[in-house]
């Protein structure tokens, strides 16, 4: 068995509608689906106390990748602000065209 590629990246957000405003409306990523899950086995998967309830949205990143946005309603999380040099911190880097125009659209 060997790794064949990256499938998706997940980002936990505080406000799903606001995040979609950035990723979908601002950057133009296509919304693939949106919903809410509260399966009994979800608690075990994420290692959280019961019950776990997640609102989610999947967005297409060109090249066959998916950006998964999660908003945990239960359990309620706390924002984190790791520095880039802190172990476990991450970032998402996208290749774009016409970056100046994109920055102006995002500012608007």
pLDDT of residue 1 exceeding 80: no
Give the chain's length.
108
Alpha-carbon distance of 50 to 10, in angstroms, equals 21
Mean pLDDT computed over 82-94? 90
**How does residue 10 score in pLDDT terms, banded at 50, 70 and 90?**
very high
For position 46, what pLDDT does the model report? 84
How do strand 30-37 and strand 65-74 relate by DSSP bridges? unpaired
Q: What CA–CA distances, in Å, run from 28 to 95, 103, 105?
A: 13, 12, 11
| 11-23 residue pLDDT tens | 999 999 999 999 9
Collapsed DSSP state (helix, strand, coil) of residue 71: strand
Alpha-carbon distance of 25 to 62, in angstroms, equals 15
Q: Please give the share of the chain, as a percent, with pLDDT higher than 70.
A: 100
Mean pLDDT computed over 29-43? 91
Alpha-carbon distance of 66 to 103, in angstroms, equals 22
Alpha-carbon distance of 92 to 83, in angstroms, equals 15
50 vs 10, higher pLDDT: 10
pTM passes above 0.85: yes
């Amino acid at each position: 068995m060997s790794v064949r590629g990256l499938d998706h990246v997940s980002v936990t957000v505080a406000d799903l509608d606001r995040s979609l405003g950035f990723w979908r409306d601002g950057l133009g990523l296509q919304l693939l689906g949106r919903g809410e899950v509260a399966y009994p086995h979800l608690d075990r998967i994420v290692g959280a106390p019961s019950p776990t309830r997640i609102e989610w949205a999947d967005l297409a990143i060109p090249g066959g990748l998916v950006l998964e946005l999660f908003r945990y309603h239960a359990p309620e999380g706390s924002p984190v602000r790791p520095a880039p040099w802190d172990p476990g911190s991450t970032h998402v880097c996208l290749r774009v065209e016409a970056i100046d125009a994109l920055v102006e659209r995002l500012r608007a």
